[in-house]
Amino acid sequence: MSDLTHFDDTGASRMVDVSGKPVTERLARAEGFVEMRPETLARILNREFAKGDVLEVARLAGIMATKRTADLIPLCHSLGLDAASVDLRPGSDRTLRIESTVRVQGRTGVEMEALTAVSVAALTVYDMCKSIDRGMVITGIRLLEKQGGRSGTWTVAESGDSGASRPD
């Protein structure tokens, strides 16, 4: 089990000790999609929901979620983030694409924070629109890029991922 960083040699769970790592600039980008009926997406884009502006509420929820990632994911380090953004835009006439970017000067990466932002933003879209479209599907949540640390830069394009999980 020694190749799994969240377990010690006996198999016991542990938080990885990052105290000896240098502080470097870290960045992570993630994406996800919410598939819905075309008329649902049109109402979102035209800001026609009584609950409020779906895009802005989802954006705020995603940003807020980045700051709570350590409370949600066991063994995840608590980080003082430097920046977090969430972008929501149509991917097609029935798909809303969500992308998050998170930055920190730290000893560990922010992949989980970027993925959490996308996930919570997507769940917020679902919550705000479920009264008219319970058949929405949240899909394709994945890491697009990470920078910094000992392993350097990684991108989904370099990983050989075909992008098959993307609905567009």
Active site residues: 127
Report CA-CA distances (Å) from 15 to 19, 22, 67, 79, 110. 11, 17, 18, 14, 15
Report how far residue 81's alpha carbon sits from residue 102's, in angstroms, rounded to the nearest whole number.
8
Secondary structure of residue 67 in the 3-state scheme: coil
Phi then psi dihedrals of residue 123, to 5 deg: -65, -35
Phi then psi dihedrals of residue 13, to 5 deg: -65, 145
The dihedral sign for the CA sequence 95, 58, 78, 13: negative
- Evaluate whether 125 touches 33 at the Cβ level (below 8 Å): no
Report how far residue 65's alpha carbon sits from residue 74's, in angstroms, rounded to the nearest whole number.
15
